[in-house]
Amino acid sequence: MNPIEKYLAKAAGREEVQVGEDITVKVDLAIAHDVTGPMAVEQFREIGIDHVFDSQKVVFVIDHIIPAATIDAKVGQNTLKVFAREYGVKIYDHSDGVIHQIIAEKHRLERGSIIVGADSHTCTAGAYGALAIPVGATELAATMATGTLDLEVPETYEIRLEGKLQPGVYAKDVILHLIGHFGTNGFTDKAVIYTGSLVKQLSTDEKMTISNMGIEMGTMISYFADPNESIGKVKKSFIFQAEEIKACVACSPNPGNVAKAVDVAGTKITQAIIGSCTNGRLSDMKIAAEVLKGRKVAKEVLLLIIPASKDIAQEMEDQGLTRIFREAGGVITSPGCGPCFGAHMGLLAAEDVAVSTTNRNFPGRMGHREAKVFLASPRLAAESAVAGMIVSPGTVAPLGGV
């Protein structure tokens, strides 16, 4: 068996499992946020029991619309707070950060643990070896009650990343390149294991960026193998040479519409967004700050800086990054999802064009359906904010040392 099958078998109390089998696995952590959580709570109450399976293994994070931008948003958040008090579960409700970053910082589990989350980017936790599975609100409610999840053992594929990235090319470019290659349905309901010499060089932050957007290829489980881990049998292996990956962007209308940055250079922008659960970590902020230090954001561009967590925001302050962003003309928001979810804090009008380090650019995702969103790395977003247009990394600031 491959590692994913091995861990699924362990969670199911089995010696082994086969692709296509229906199994029931024990869950180590169940998570939800302020958009999906209220629906899960409603479904849970309909089950009619007076306890969750383990109050230490259920976590709510208010991150999508914090501070609340509508009355309905506030009602939903209050629903989670009431449930958390009643059932004794953990809730993060003071703009502590985006759910996937909070889980990594405060609730990181051992390799092979099962995380079930009512959010499509739950797969982020695969960066540190968890089997993180996105589900709907109804499934999450059942998991909160029983501590188990029913699933079909998926086919597993290997993506082997070999070599070393070129200057100006980052983890975001790697995952955009893969999505562009396989398409948005390339691994629907399948599992992917990432291996190779490049994987050994990547930090956990970088792995989280790649794993986070695995769902944009349809992937059910994204998993980064341990360097010494035997991969075993997989459906098929794909090999990519890191040196051949270029700085790129995903153009509207979806993350699979990928182009080389040089081919869209010169496209005027009105907004740049650096942050989110994909690229809102301290390492991302350092890259952006090195570009923006001593420079000014173009007059016609609004630059939003959105830390992925309160801890990251504090580190930004302590290391002087916040001041760099402000002096450059950037706007720093409270930690959370911000405009990525399209609910508040930086929405786009029809005529707007944004470069964003977030993970989705579907029509209407960040505001008006006619607005255009280009997904890119923090480096490319920062340089484009200064230039007032999409540029290739190295255009505004030299690549050496950044």
Which stretches within 157-309 are classed as H helix?
171-182, 197-201, 204-212, 261-264, 276-279, 282-292
CB 223 within 8 A of CB 142: no
Q: What percent of the chain shows pLDDT beyond 90? A: 99
H/E element, 298:
none
CA–CA separation, 6 vs 12, rounded Å? 10
Six-digit token string for 332 = 């720093």
Dump pLDDT digits (tens) for 31-86.
999 999 999 999 999 999 999 999 999 999 999 999 999 999 999 999 999 999 99
CB 337 within 8 A of CB 98: yes
Six-digit token string for 133 = 């599975």
What is the overall mean pLDDT for the chain?
97
Q: pTM, whole model, 2 decimals?
A: 0.96
CB 348 within 8 A of CB 368: yes
Question: Crossing angle for the helix pair 310-318 and 282-292, nearest 10 degrees?
Answer: 40
Q: Are strands 331-332 and 248-250 parallel, antiparallel or unpaired?
A: unpaired
Render the burial of 158-169: b for 16+ CB within 10 Å, e for the rest: bbbbeeebeebb
CA–CA separation, 211 vs 159, rounded Å? 12
Which stretches within 119-170 are classed as H helix?
137-146
Query: What pLDDT is attached to residue 401?
Result: 53
In 3D, which of 58, 61, 47 has the Cα closest to residue 89? 58
- Alpha-carbon distances, residue 72 vs 78, 86, 95, 96, 137 (angstroms): 10, 21, 18, 21, 18
Dump pLDDT digits (tens) for 284-321.
999 999 999 999 999 999 999 999 999 999 999 999 99
